[in-house]
Structure 1
């Protein structure tokens, strides 16, 4: 029996309108896990909502896409309890076994977190993430790479359901305290990238390095579809703290010129910062692939600058002690 599902990709404005005490957390799950979380006739997800007081839904199933988004919104305590319930449901059905440890009741939850907020979770020299692990008993891993066509990364939380709940409560508190940093987040959509992968899979490499597709009208049609998908120009927006913009522009504009050249995207920068956030808006124009490269390069420069500043502070601290 098919269950009507609500598409779950809340806009950035919707996320920003959440009250100070409420949190929206998204997690990446497989299609198989989604079926278990929803339950027969929507039973499991309905019980989860009722027992925790949260809003919880799973994104629509799309043919050929193996991953879906679980979104949970509500008070922090309810969100943490909801993810404990999800972990419990998955472990009871052995759905998450391939991601868990050898302990049967251990589960891995893959949270989607804005790149801008990763520092809040990791902390200086990893102190915060270590503290969360010590307090909760869960193990955590933060990915370094941005997910395709987004500014989100994955934080894996692994443990028994109670440990997962405690860790997510601590993570949620970090996110709430620095909530303004999520401004400009480009949300990950698993439906957006597999389409290109699927079409590229139809192109086979020959021994001499030339490409070919099936001959005749079908092959020509595939080439047209693939080309139109790759050539579609999109605009994406990210906001960057004003005091970090200089490291991206570089001396005489050298760094931003290099990023434009390497990515193939056009990048414009707002002349004045936002009155409320003091952040400058970057607008990136290009194909999906070009924009993804541009985002990777932009955030790479930010990370290098953060590391440079941290090292500088540490050196000054050592010098003062001496």
Structure 2
């Protein structure tokens, strides 16, 4: 019984702290049952800290991330759960703009995949057009 007191803490302070920090349900029985530990917590009960990343993207490519009337950026937000902001101004002495992504780690990874795919599509499309133009001229 003494061991339980050190776990519970004065006025249940330790238990309250564990509950608040982990989201776990903690029940302490009256001692009439055999000794056991039963851990139960929902996988999403522990809050995940938000992360913020900043990408530097050529200003000429930012329109592809935003899309017509913001449709592409809205689609990415909805698909990933991440918050995305494309700076309206270019960085000082640069032709690039900052793209800020915020959210939990999983959302950030998904968002990065979407943005990278968009940028790759643009690059390959530009290469294709350049190749096609060269072929037509020759």
Same fold per superposition (TM over 0.5) = yes
Give the C-alpha shift of residue 235 in structure 1.
1.1
Match of 1:249 among 66, 69, 88: 66
Matched residues in 2 for 1:227 and 1:284: separation? 24
* 1:217 positional shift: 4.1
Name 2:87's counterpart in structure 1.
Answer: 270
Query: Is 1:218 matched up with 2:39?
Result: yes
Q: Deviations over 1:183-207 (max 9, x none)?
A: xxxxxxxxxxxxxxxxxxxxxxxxx
Aligned to 2:120: 303
- Using a 3 Å threshold, how does the CA distance of structure 1 residues 239 and 227 change in structure 2: closer, same or farther? farther
User: In structure 2, how many angstroms separate the alpha carbons of the residues matched to 1:265 and 1:227?
Assistant: 19
- Who is 1:320 aligned against? 137
Rounded to whole Å, the distance in 2 between the matches of 1:283 and 1:305 is 20
Q: How many angstroms apart in 1 are the aligned matches of 2:118 and 2:68?
A: 14
Equivalent residue number for residue 96 of structure 2: 279
TM-score (normalizing by structure 2)? 0.68
Unmatched 5+ stretches in structure 1: 1-215
Q: Secondary structure at the match of 1:236?
A: strand
Give structure 1 regions of 4+ aligned residues with deviation exceeding 6 angstroms.
Answer: none
SS at match of 2:91: coil
- How many residues align? The count is 103
Q: CA RMSD in A?
A: 2.0
Partner of 2:53: 236
Residue 228 to residue 237, structure 1, CA distance change in 2 (3 Å): farther
Deviation, 1:255, is 0.7
Change in 2 beyond 3 A, CA 1:276/1:227: farther
User: What is the distance in 1 between the residues matched to 2:103 and 2:117?
Assistant: 19
Q: Distance in 2 between matches of 1:275 and 1:312?
A: 31
Answer with 1 or 2: which has the greater Rg: 2
Alpha-carbon shift at residue 232 of structure 1 (Å): 2.2
3-state SS of paired residue (1:309): helix
